[in-house]
């Protein structure tokens, strides 16, 4: 996730306006920033790595001439957060400046093709291919307008993008376009804007035009013209008047960041399916060679590791050891060695306990692999290979979208490893890959159809003193995560454990009306889990189940149930099955009058041991 912005003003300098808008978009990314303006037929650019304020201190971003320009605040996906990779990116001639939010999936092929015909690339980003493709279209046919050259270029792109482009060849225009990344236009009498999100221009205008996927827009002081990318046909759309406060705009109309981030999961999961094959393959190779693999993390990230240990074992026949990072040194500090591999999972990449475990393993010459949401974080710097999970910044303290993205990346790794080791048939492989592709839609369906039901369950159980969260197999990890969400934001003590453990102690807590939440995908554990439900029911527990759609057997045993579309393979089940648990924690927190975005005593990134 990055933020893009562009503006054309009748009077005055664009640069300070761009700077202000980028500050309002900083929640979308903040590892580098850049601006480009046009003045008297020349392109002016300032860009660097660092937060906007840091870059501004060094470069004085407002000091760029011209009434037209574009800007970008970056959340690195391809290429480290360095000045060279900061946007805007230029073509070879330096006449086309592009800012981009999204991921171009076929950028390696396009880059190769462009390099073969003489284009010289400066950055490691996927974005730069767009500038060169436009240049190529213009070279091939110089009579094209900027918009036409851009149309030719973007028809070659696979993946997601929202772009804004300027060029001295058409000095009074900004051309922008979108596919699967957000883009909105703001209009005023004396100015026009494009942005990734409404908060960017909300203090400047309350008239907005939402741009849809597959549309290109040309902005000028005369107004805007929308065209379909597929056939260049014109689209007529009038601006809407917004009555949002800046605070509401930042949360896109949701009351809390946590709820917004829960709802972003279909999009973030689509992003994690666009990871560069190259990094996945590289990490798979390291995992394949490893003698022993530790999956090391804290909190929610640890739950992703726990789920991953089932995925690696079931799919790739690889035994891995999920370890809570703060225990790693005590538990394995003496035995970890040159033959050990540590896959550290940390959305922030800065968690002190995780880094301490990694440092201990590094000193003993172990191989360090990293999975994180923050490229440029400490974890990325000390890992032999790392993968950026591409969830975009998460503002709510409770991890939601970063968890499901971690699960998605880890399951992709497990699948690749299974393929490499010849542990799954081609048919099985195709089946799982197809199911993985469908997960974003499944999550979308759950959000659309089950949220109201979860809200009612939250109302019913809001005063419960404690909960059990139970699952078997891979769902044990889902149960742990559901419990953590409820505890951390609703302050309800809760206990999670593999359902088989009930009769070894915890069942003695159960009395009439004690709420027990069961995670029940229809997998190999289904039958045994029914037995566990029966034993809780016999002691008067209230049974809340997350079941597969149409699972009448469990539905009839349950006091309340939430349904997940059927056909999700067991190893992928934590992704959809955790969604109702995130919503449940959120709505119980609301019912109990707590702010889910700011749970007491907690911080987003825990940088102390």
Instruction: Name residue, tokens 């060849």.
Output: 169
Return the residues of window 81-140 that contact ligand AGP according to CB under 6 A: none
Question: Contact with ligand AGP (CB under 6 A): which of 129, 399, 415, 442?
Answer: 399
Q: What is the largest CA-CA distance in the chain?
A: 81
Say if residues 489 and 399 touch (Cβ distance below 8 Å).
no
Q: Tell me which of 2, 194, 298, 360 is the catalytic residue.
A: 2
Interface with ligand AGP (CB under 6 A), residue from 13, 300, 474, 573: 300
**Beta-bridge mates of residue 191:** 9
Q: What number of other Cβ atoms are within 10 A of residue 603's Cβ?
A: 11
482 touching ligand AGP, by CB under 6 A: no
Residue 346 is a binding residue for ligand AGP (CB under 6 A) = yes
Instruction: Select the residue whose beta carbon is closest to ligand AGP and give its number.
Output: 299
Q: Does residue 88 have a cis bond before it (omega within 30 degrees)?
A: yes
CA atoms 452, 454, 455, 457: torsion sign: positive
CA–CA distance, 550 with 567 (Å, rounded to integer):
11
Local structure of residue 508 (DSSP, 8 states): G
Beta strands at 367-372 and 385-388: parallel, antiparallel or unpaired: parallel
Q: Compute the distance between CA of residue 534 and CA of residue 194 in angstroms, rounded to an integer.
A: 58
Q: Are 487 and 515 in contact (CB under 8 A)?
A: no
Piece of 118-126, 178-186, 392-400, 522-530 that binds ligand AGP (CB under 6 A): 392-400
When asked if residue 299 is in the footprint of ligand AGP (CB under 6 A), the reply is yes
User: Least distance from C-beta 294 to ligand AGP, angstroms?
Assistant: 15
Residues in the chain: 609
Could you tell me which stretch among 144-152, 223-231, 346-354, 362-370 binds ligand AGP (CB under 6 A)? 346-354
Interacting span for ligand AGP (CB under 6 A) from 20-28, 159-167, 223-231, 296-304: 296-304
Residue 64 DSSP symbol: -
Taking the complex as a whole, how short is the minimal distance between the CB of residue 270 and ligand AGP, in angstroms? Answer: 21
Bridge partners (DSSP) listed for residue 90: 97
The residues, ordered by sequence, that sit 6+ positions from 484 with a Cβ below 8 Å of its Cβ are 299, 300, 303, 496
Q: Is 574 in the site for ligand AGP (CB under 6 A)?
A: no
H or E element that contains 479: helix 475-490
Using CB under 6 A as the binding rule, whether residue 606 contacts ligand AGP is answered as: yes
Instruction: Locate 247 and state its tokens.
Output: 């605070």
Strand partners, 159: 104
Residue 359 in the binding site for ligand AGP (CB under 6 A)? no
Q: Is 490 in the site for ligand AGP (CB under 6 A)?
A: no
CB 391, CB 373: distance < 8 Å: yes
Per DSSP, the three-state class of 126 is: coil
Restricting to residues 222-251, name those near ligand AGP by CB under 6 A. none
Query: Please, which residue, 371 or 544, has the CB nearer to ligand AGP?
Result: 371
Q: Active-site residue 360, yes or no?
A: no
Asked if 347 interacts with ligand AGP (CB under 6 A), we say yes
Is residue 298 part of the contact set for ligand AGP (CB under 6 A)?
yes
* Residues between 27 and 86 with contacts to ligand AGP, criterion CB under 6 A: none
- Closest by CA position to 191, among listed 12, 33, 335, 391: 12
Nearer to ligand AGP, 167 or 347 (CB): 347
**Stretch binding ligand AGP (CB under 6 A), from 259-267, 313-321, 396-404, 491-499:** 396-404
| The pair of three-digit structure tokens given for residue 18, joined into one six-digit string | 């761009």
CB of 219 or CB of 304, closer to ligand AGP:
304
Helix or strand run (H / E) with residue 97: strand 97-104
- State yes or no: residue 605 binds ligand AGP (CB under 6 A): yes
Characterize the bridge pairing of strands 207-210 and 184-187.
Answer: antiparallel
Per-residue x/- track, 181-210, ligand AGP (CB under 6 A): ------------------------------
Instruction: Tell me the closest approach of the beta carbon of residue 397 to ligand AGP, in angstroms.
Output: 6
Q: What is the DSSP letter of 180?
A: B
Whether residue 464 contacts residue 492, with contact meaning beta carbons closer than 8 Å, is answered with: yes
Nearer to ligand AGP, 13 or 301 (CB): 301
Residue of 354, 390, 545, 573 that binds ligand AGP (CB under 6 A):
354
Among residues 47, 194, 604, 609, the one annotated as catalytic is: 604
Q: Find the part of the chain contacting ligand AGP (CB under 6 A) among 113-121, 175-183, 259-267, 348-356.
A: 348-356
Contact predicate 59/51, CB 8 Å: no
CB of residue 477 to ligand AGP, shortest distance in Å: 13
Known active-site residue 604: yes
- Closest separation in Å from C-beta 359 to ligand AGP: 15
Catalytic residue ranges: 2, 604
**Residues engaged in binding ligand AGP (CB under 6 A):** 298-301, 346-348, 351, 354, 397-399, 488, 605-606
């Amino acid at each position: 996730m990055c933020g893009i912005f562009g503006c054309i003003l009748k009077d005055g300098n664009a640069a300070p306006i761009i700077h202000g808008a980028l500050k309002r978009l900083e929640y979308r990314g903040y590892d580098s920033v850049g601006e480009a303006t046009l003045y008297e037929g020349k392109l002016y650019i300032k860009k660097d790595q660092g937060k906007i304020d840091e870059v501004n201190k060094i470069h004085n971003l407002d000091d760029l001439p011209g009434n037209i320009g574009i800007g970008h605040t970056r959340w690195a996906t391809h290429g480290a957060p360095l000045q060279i990779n900061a946007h805007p990116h230029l073509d070879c001639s330096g006449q086309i400046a592009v800012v981009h939010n999204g991921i171009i999936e076929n950028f390696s092929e396009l880059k190769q093709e462009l390099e073969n015909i003489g284009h010289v690339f400066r950055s490691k980003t996927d974005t730069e291919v767009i500038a060169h493709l436009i240049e190529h279209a213009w070279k091939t046919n110089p009579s094209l307008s900027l918009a036409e050259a851009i149309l030719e270029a973007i028809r070659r792109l696979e993946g997601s993008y929202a772009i804004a482009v300027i060029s001295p060849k058409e000095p009074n225009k900004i051309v922008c376009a979108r596919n699967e990344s957000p883009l909105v236009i703001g209009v005023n009498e004396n100015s026009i804007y494009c942005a990734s999100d409404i908060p960017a221009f909300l203090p400047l205008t309350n008239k907005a035009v939402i741009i849809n996927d597959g549309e290109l827009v040309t902005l000028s002081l005369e107004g805007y013209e929308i065209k379909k990318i597929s056939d260049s046909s014109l689209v007529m759309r009038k601006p809407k008047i917004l009555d949002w406060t800046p605070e509401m705009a930042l949360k896109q109309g949701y009351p809390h960041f946590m709820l917004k981030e829960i709802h972003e999961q279909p999009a973030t999961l689509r992003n994690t399916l666009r990871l560069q094959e190259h990094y996945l393959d590289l990490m798979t190779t390291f995992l394949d060679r490893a003698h022993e693999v530790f999956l090391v993390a804290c909190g929610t990230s640890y739950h992703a590791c726990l789920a991953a240990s089932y995925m690696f074992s079931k799919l790739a026949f690889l035994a891995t050891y999920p370890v809570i990072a703060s225990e790693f040194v005590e538990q394995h500090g003496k035995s970890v060695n040159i033959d050990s591999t540590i896959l550290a999972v940390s959305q922030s990449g800065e968690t002190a306990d995780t880094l301490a475990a990694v440092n201990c393993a590094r000193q003993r010459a172990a191989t360090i692999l990293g999975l994180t949401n923050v490229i440029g974080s400490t974890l990325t710097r000390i890992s032999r290979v790392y993968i950026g999970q591409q969830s975009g910044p998460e503002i709510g303290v409770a991890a939601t979208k970063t968890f499901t993205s971690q699960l998605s990346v880890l399951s992709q790794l497990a699948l690749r490893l299974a393929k490499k080791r010849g542990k799954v048939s081609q048919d099985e492989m195709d089946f799982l890959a197809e199911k993985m592709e469908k997960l974003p839609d499944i999550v979308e369906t759950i959000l659309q159809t089950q949220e109201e039901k979860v809200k009612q369950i939250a109302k019913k159980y809001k005063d419960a003193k404690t909960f059990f969260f139970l699952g078997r197999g891979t769902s044990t990890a889902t149960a742990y995560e559901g419990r953590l969400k409820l505890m951390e934001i609703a302050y309800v003590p809760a206990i999670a454990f593999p359902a088989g453990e009930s009769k070894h102690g915890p069942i003695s807590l159960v009395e009439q009306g004690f709420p027990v939440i069961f995670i029940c995908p229809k997998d190999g554990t289904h039958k045994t889990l029914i037995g566990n439900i029966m034993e809780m029911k016999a002691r008067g527990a209230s049974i809340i189940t997350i079941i597969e759609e149409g699972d009448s057997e469990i539905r009839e045993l349950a006091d309340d149930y939430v349904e997940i579309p059927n056909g999700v393979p067991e190893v992928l089940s934590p992704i959809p099955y955790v969604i109702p648990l995130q919503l449940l924690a959120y709505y119980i927190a609301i019912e109990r009058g707590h702010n889910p975005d700011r749970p007491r005593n907690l911080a987003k990134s825990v940088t102390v041991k």
